A and B are shown apart, each in its own frame.
Chain A
Amino acid sequence: MSLDLPLVWASILALGVFMYVLLDGFDLGVGILFPLGETDAERDVMMNSVAPVWDGNETWLVLGGGGLLAVFPLAYAVIMPALYFPVLLMLIALIFRGVAFEFRFKAPPRRRWLWDHSFNLGSVVATFSQGLVLGGFLQGFEVAGRDFAGGPFDWLSPFTVFVGLALICGYALLGATWLIIKTEGELQERFYRLARPLLLGVVLFIVAVSVWTPLKHPAIAERWFSWPNLLYLSPVPIVTALVALLLLRALRRRREVQPFVLSLALFLLCYLGLGISLWPYAAPPSITIWDAASDPSSQLFLLVGTLFLLPFILFYTGYAYFVFRGKVREGEGYH
């Protein structure tokens, strides 16, 4: 039997990264929107809406990073040095915002603002860095032999900064629609009102990135606009537009759960679009998943444990969300 292990692993890692983007996306979004909580009590509610689940969400990031090293080491060896500072900033920001969850509730009131800012700023910086990583990935890496051959700031370009801003807007939309589910009254109304301009921003960003990327990369343009690909792939932008319209309607009708679900769908479609653009590269524009693959024996060895544990992790993730379902009310935190 010939099992295409690199393909299997690419699917697993793609799932892992997607889970990460969705899950940590909304809790980073809550951090981005944190200053919108006007009182300490409101900020408590916002933070408590994600406190029980955020560290489970970040599990997926470790899975993505560790997995990439183990099964696509060449991609790891090219991407990490190329994105040295964005990765560093992301890690430090995630640490700061992670401990803010804990220290904020334990700090005396006069020092609480410090951890408020740490949470907010950490979320913004982590998101922006992830946007830089994504932008850098789309931009591609200069490779010589088996090494990254560019400079330490190759990742810094108008395009990557633009993608960073786009991701901040996107995560903020996820955060706002999540908070619509988890809050009520005046606070909830604030997020309803905010979600509309955020959606508008996200749509503009999607359009801009969709135009900019093929303009910069003929190969990606070829992938989308050559015949018959154009026909097969046309549902992606059409459905994306449809979902955006539905989301707009759901917000106008003050639906509670729909906006979040539709925002997730919007992210899924963008992810799909990115996947179509980048396939089959593990480190664009030259290293494919088969080039980057580790020894088959190494991939198989780790696959055994992963296939055993992945359902398990999925199950407890679902269970945690089930346990902490419903509205978060003031003074009802579990701290």
Chain B
Amino acid sequence: MPVALDPELLSRIQFAFVVSFHILFPTFTIGLASYIAVLETLWGWTKRDLYIELSQFWTKIFAVSFAMGVVSGIVMTYQFGTNWSRLSDASAPIIGPLLGYEVLSAFFLEATFLGILLFGRNRVSPGLHIASAYVVALGTLLSAFWILSANSWMQTPAGAEFRDGRFYPVDWIAAIFNPSFPYRFAHMVTACYLTTAFAVVGASAWAIRNKRFPEHSHKAFAMGLGLIAILAPAQLVIGDLHGLNTLRHQPAKIAAMEGHWETQQGAPLLLFAIPDQAAERNRLELAIPKLGSLILTHDSMGEVAGLRDWPPEERPPVTIVFFAFRLMVGLGLLMIFVGLAGLWLRWRGRLYDTDWFLRLCVWCTPIGFVAILAGWFVTEIGRQPWTIYGQLHRSDSLSPSLTGAQVLGSLLIYVAAYCVIFGTGIYYLIRIARRGPTVGEPAPAGATARRPLSGADLPLDEGEAS
């Protein structure tokens, strides 16, 4: 069978495509929801219009992102059934309820408090409005909690018994709080906050350079950079802990991330290499001796497993994992640099007029999104060939009835539809961001719909729309 029409590979590509698209939106809304709650609180304390105007501006962007996240998310659940029916049948007794609770938390949020947050400013008391901002933020975190619990369970299954090809729940607490979940949750939520901070900082830096809304953009710029200065270094520590957890439970993934083929004591840290999966070695290695062992085992002579410990068919594709990991870490270091440089410039009183730094921040607007995608590529490709790690192989997960042509057809339909829908949506998001906050006007009396996108009332094409 030609590779291009292998239903398994095509189903993996299809899943990767829809989930990569989807993840961008919740990432952003998790961060924005908390940011909006903070802005609303600051307004409650200070009663300065500045905060409410900033909050309204980012709420518009939140509304559109949220809607995009919802529509792209519905597709995900159905993928489990259409393309991975054996995975569904085998693992639904565990991940089914976890995903079910994710759906319920999202509904709880969408049903009530989102409407109040988006449209209720003039209809409810300020206290209730602020409270609803917190409930929405909590709702997004709750959604992340359940979805990451389900994902982590697939990476480090626990609290279940694997019998006759299916999983049976034994201990729900152990299943929900499975070994990798706390680390993954902390790592991902921090990443969401960093991503949002860089988007806010980038948009503000753009506005500062274009001399627009100076008061608002200075405030948002300083707040975002403050958060980055704290969270970017913290993420390094959290990421390290997550890596150590992975070393314990998924050593083959670590070996692929590090590009280690041989099991060795005092393993080097590879800064660069071109892994060759067939030859089981690297080309063009640039390495720092012993640092790999030091980072992974906190002992310069510690033993680190290499990929040759596993049979070839149980090794993840090394090249993608290796480079995605380096991209993620590189961007993380860039984030730390931006945070520290921001602190330094603030201390020198030059935060808002250092052009190279403003320019750098504009360029850094999307780096959180890129780092998140890179990180997910590491963790999802690094766990291959398993869907439920060590227990259910991906070839035992696929719907057996699928044909290659069938999946190719659906993949093409997805790609075409997503380009139109999300192309329009992203174009719209950028338009809102460029227009900036509405300053000095009372809050619009507003629509009463509960529909997220109506929170953004900007015509798609300026001056022409009615």
Contacts and interface: CB of A to CB of B under 8 A. Distances in A.
B28 to A, nearest CB: 18
B395 to A, nearest CB: 14
Interface in A67-117: 67-71, 73-74, 76-82, 84-85, 87-88, 91-92, 94-96, 98-99, 101-103, 105-111
A81 B71 contact: no
B215 interface: no
Given A109-B466, A313-B107, A69 B77 contact: yes
A69 B406 contact: no
A140 B110 CA distance: 36
B401 A335 contact: no
A294 interface: yes
A80 B100 contact: no
Given A62-B74, A81-B401, A146 B89 contact: yes
A77 B93 contact: no
A298 interface: yes
Given A70-B99, A81-B399, A306-B104, A298 B93 contact: yes
Q: Main secondary structure on chain B at its contact with chain A?
A: helix
A62 B78 CA distance: 9
Interface string A24-54: 0000000000000000000000000001101
A324 B413 CA distance: 36
B82 A51 contact: no
**Interface residue tally of chain A, by bracket?**
35 or more
Given A92-B417, A99-B425, A102-B451, A81 B402 contact: yes
A271 to B, nearest CB: 22
A27 B282 CA distance: 59
B179 to A, nearest CB: 20
Contact of B453 (A52, A94, A102): A102
Interface residues of B, number: 63
A77 B97 contact: no
Contact of B78 (A56, A91, A103, A147): A91
Nearest to A295: B93
Contacts of B78: 65, 80, 87, 91
Interface in B445-466: 447-454, 457-461, 464-466
Nearest to A301: B97
Nearest to B64: A102
A23 to B, nearest CB: 14
A67 B100 contact: yes
A275 interface: no
A295 to B, nearest CB: 4
B458 A73 contact: no
Contacts of B122: none
Contact of A51 (B88, B108, B451): B451
Contacts of A306: 100, 104
B357 interface: no
Interface of A: 51-52, 54-56, 59, 61-63, 65-71, 73-74, 76-82, 84-85, 87-88, 91-92, 94-96, 98-99, 101-103, 105-111, 146-152, 294-295, 297-298, 301-302, 305-306, 309, 312-313, 316, 320, 323-324, 334-335
5 contacts: A52-B449, A81-B402, A95-B417, A106-B459, A150-B401
Interface of B: 67, 71, 74-75, 77-78, 80-83, 85-86, 88-89, 92-94, 96-97, 99-101, 103-104, 107-108, 110-112, 168-169, 172, 399-403, 406, 409-410, 413-414, 417, 421, 424-425, 428, 447-454, 457-461, 464-466
